[in-house]
Amino acid sequence: MKQRMITGVVGAIVLLSVVVIGGLVFTLAIAAVASIAMHELLKMKQIKTYSFMGLVSFLFMWILLVPEAWMDIPLFQHVSKVELFLMMILLLLALTVVTKNTFTFDEAGFVILSSVYIGYGFYHLLLTRNVEENGLVLVFLVLFIIWAADSGAFFVGKKWGKHKLWPEISPKKTVEGFAGGIIAAGMIGAVFHHFFPVFSSWMVLAGFIVVTSVFGQLGDLVESALKRHYAVKDSGKVLPGHGGILDRFDSLIFVLPVLHFLHFFG
C-alpha cells in the first residue's frame, strides 16, 4: 500500500505538471505514454512490438493519435485523418488476401480495435488540453473526477460493498462501490467547479460529473475484461504498486471520447 501511494502521488505530480506545461511537451509526453500503453496491449496478446503485426498496430495508433496539424503535408493535404485511417483499414483487409490468410482477419481486427482504443482515447486527451480558454481546467476537472470516482468506489466498496457489480469481469467491484464512486465524484466536481467554473449551469455540471464518473468506471471494467480475457493480472509493471500505463489511464481514454461526442467541451 505504501509503494502504491508513493507511486500514485509522484505520478499525479508528474502528470499534472506536464498538463500545466502543455504545448509540444504535453503532446510528446502523451505520445510516449500512448506508445507504452500500445506495447502493453500487444504484450497481453503475446505479440512482439517489432513484429510485422506490432509495427502495423503502432502505425495505426499513431495516425489516430497525432494532432491534425501534424498531418498537414502535401501528400495528405486534402485527406482527413479519418479518411486516411479508413483507407488503411481497407489495405489491411486486402493484406489478408495477399498473404493468403497468413495475416488473418482476426489479427486485422485486433490491430484496428487496439489502435482505436489507445490512439483515439489519447488523441481526445490532446484535444481537451487544446480547448480554447479553459482546456487546462477541463483536463484537471476530468482527472479529479476520475480519481475521486476511483477512490470513492474503492473505499465505499471495501467498507459497505455487498452486492457484486460484475463478478465475471471484476470480482471485487460492488454496486455500493460504483454508487460511492459517483457520489465522491459529485462532491469533488462541485467543489472544483465552485473555484474554477467552466460550465454555464449546475445542471450541465451534474450531467458532466455523472457521465464522467459512470463511463470512467465502465472504462476500468473494459480494461479488466481485457486482462481477464488474456489471463494477466496487470497490463504492465512500469508503475510500481499500480501495474501498467493502461491500468492507470483506462478510465481517462475511455471517457474523453464520450465527453467530446456529447459536446461537453463546446
Residue pair 119/60 in contact (Cβ under 8 Å)? The answer is yes
Question: Is residue 227 over pLDDT 80?
Answer: yes
Alpha-carbon distance 141 to 12, whole Å?
14
- Give pLDDT tens digits for 43-91: 888 888 888 888 889 988 998 898 776 666 665 566 777 787 888 889 8
SS3 1: coil
Alpha-carbon distance 184 to 148, whole Å?
6
Alpha-carbon distance 224 to 234, whole Å?
9
pLDDT band at 216 (very low <50, low <70, confident <90, very high): very high
159 CB burial (10 A radius; 0-12, 13-18, 19+): exposed
* Mean of the per-residue pLDDT values of the chain: 87
Q: What is the pTM of this model?
A: 0.90
What's the CA angle centered on 45, arms 41 and 46, to 5 degrees? 110
4-13, 118-127, 149-158, 168-177 — most confident range: 118-127
Which of 74, 187, 77, 81 is closest to 126 using CA atoms?
Answer: 81
Cell numbers at 202, concatenated: 449546475
Q: Which of 82-96, 197-211, 231-245 has the lowest mean pLDDT?
A: 231-245
